[in-house]
Amino acid sequence: MPKRKLDPLPSAAFNILLALAGEDLHGYAIMRQVEEHTCGRVRLGPGTLYGSLQTLLEAELIKELDAGSDPEDSSERRRYYRLTRAGLKVVRSEVEGIAQILRVARAKRLLRGADV
Amino acid sequence: MSEKLYAILIRLYPEHFRRTYGEEALRLVRDRARDEKGLLAAARLWLDLLVDLAVSLPREYSIAPTTPIPAAQGVSGEPSFQLLDERSPNAALLFVAGMFSALLFLACVTAVAHSPIFPTLFRDSHSLQWLVQSNLALARSPVAAPVGEYSFCMIAVRDIPSDSAQPLFTFNFAPPGASGVALIDGKTVQTFGNDEHLSIRADVFAGDHPFALRLDRPAENTSLSTNDDFKYCSPK
């Protein structure tokens, strides 16, 4: 079976890892988190979301938890995902790389806005 | 509604993806449809889903697990067939695929039928009208003789007498008509002058016969009638 690629880390996979940093989430919650932290620019569709989750599971960057009950609908059970130690390392490395780029961008006065 | 439509679309994904994430993907669509109300939100949802489908579908197929099936692995060396999928093809998926194939076929046929090359590729080589037109074009070409000449062969299915109720050929020329000579087997069977309507009658035995019509000028808007006793064929 051909391996799914994670080098370089695709944008969708990075956003999922970032969403899972700090809390366990199910698919729809991950999608919402990604939408929120990208200011609505990225809305992961089902194909991309679950394809990326499968890739991250195979790479052991995330793991699937035992199905938990949905507080809004007790008849349905959802799959929750958690960041692994390796996943945390990868997302931290990616974020540090972005931070370094940001420092360069600030030095070159390429960024606008008060919060940069 | 969105969920039902997406339930059809999700069948396009490979089996392993559907089996593992089909329910989750459907639930995601259901959740979004529940949380995002309004026409604009619904349009955005479907735009997202279609873009996602276009992006993720090829990727999922490119990494879909494949089961190598050795060919002709039957008992005592006899060829055998094996199913690639453990489940039989889904009826809804077959219907969608059938409709898609039919639409694609229709589009291809329409495109070819309206293409300028269609008459060249698909014309009936035994069509008299085509023979007349091609000969007319030849007669008008700079390399042709200044007079118009139509020639084709005819296959008489039986002996045709000159007093047959139906003439062999009937030509209609636009005014002021045409003058010339009609030949069968190289022999003159009829001469005519400034005729707008010309009926050719002759004794013809069953079999192949070359026919030629020589005109003093290229004819405009020529048309010919057909005869039940013979068929036209291309000149040899």
* pLDDT tens track for A45-87: 999 999 999 999 999 999 998 765 555 554 567 899 999 999 9
Backbone angles phi, psi at A80, to 5 degrees: -105, 150
For chain B, say whether A31 makes contact (Cβ under 8 Å).
yes
Q: Tell me which residue range forms the domain holding B22.
A: 2-88
Report if residue A6 sits inside a domain: no
| Single pTM value for the model | 0.51
> B91 to chain A, minimum CA–CA distance in Å?
23
CATH number at residue B178: 2.60.120
* pLDDT tens track for B170-208: 777 777 778 888 888 888 888 888 888 888 888 888 888
For residue A112, the Cα-to-chain-centroid distance in whole angstroms is: 26
Flag if B20 and A54 touch (Cβ within 8 Å).
yes
Report if residue A68 sits inside a domain: yes
Residues of A in contact with B53 (CB under 8 A): 45, 47
Q: Tell me which residue range forms the domain holding A38.
A: 11-107
Give bridge partners of residue B68 from the DSSP assignment.
none
Report if residue A51 sits inside a domain: yes
CATH number at residue A21: 1.10.10.10
Alpha-helical (H) ranges within B63-123 are 91-113, 118-122
Helix (H, G, I), strand (E, B) or coil at A60: coil
The pLDDT of B214-219, averaged and rounded, is 73
Report if residue B164 sits inside a domain: yes
Flag if A31 and B28 touch (Cβ within 8 Å).
yes
Q: ipTM of the predicted structure?
A: 0.82
**What is the longest distance spanned by two Cα atoms in chain A?**
55
Our count of domains for chain A comes to 1
Most A CBs within 10 Å, among B52, B53, B61, B66, to test the A interface: B52
